[in-house]
Amino acid sequence: MRRFRITPALLALILIVPACRSSTQTSTPARRAPTTAAVIPLTAPKAAEITVEQLELLLPRRPIVVGFDVDDTLIFSAPAFNALQPEFDADVIRPKVYAALTPTQKLKYHEFWNRLNSEYDDRSVPKQIGKRLLDLHLARGDDVWIHL
C-alpha cells in the first residue's frame, strides 16, 4: 500500500474541487418550503410626513452635521426666476451644454444669473418649514451647511 502525505494545499484542493461546478452544468431548482402564509403583494415604499417636533425627538442627542440647499429648500426662488426670465433666451439661461454656448451667449448666461442673485433676491420667498428646521438645528448646536 502506498502512502501519500496530505499537505494543506492538497487538502484544500480535495475539498474545493468537488464543490465547484462547470458553467455548463445546470443547477437544481430551489425547493420552496410549504407555507400557509398569505402572499403579500409588494408596493412602492411611502414616506410618512413627520412634524418638526417629531424630528427633534428622533435626532440623536449629540450634534450632527446637516446640509440645506437654498433654492426650493429654504426659499421659494421661482418668483425671482420667473420675473427675470422673459428678458433672456431660455436656451441661454438653461443650456443643455454650457460649452456649446457662443461667447456672447455665455456673457448673457452670466448676466442673467448675476442679476438674479443681486437684484431679485427680494422676490424669493423664505419657506416657513425651512426656517423652523434651521432654528431647530441651530438651537441643538448642530453643524449647519448651506449650499448656495
| Cα–Cα distance, 112 to 72 (Å, whole number) | 19
Q: What Å distances lie between residue 76 and 32, 86, 128, CA to CA?
A: 54, 19, 10
**Which set of grid coordinates corresponds to residue 3?**
502512502
For the annotated catalytic residues, the residue numbers are: 69, 71
Quick check: helix, strand or coil at residue 148?
coil
Q: Which residues pair with 145 in a beta bridge?
A: 67
Radius of gyration of the chain (CA): 31
Contact 119, 113 (CB under 8 A): no
First CA to last CA distance, the chain: 83
**Which set of grid coordinates corresponds to residue 81?**
426666476
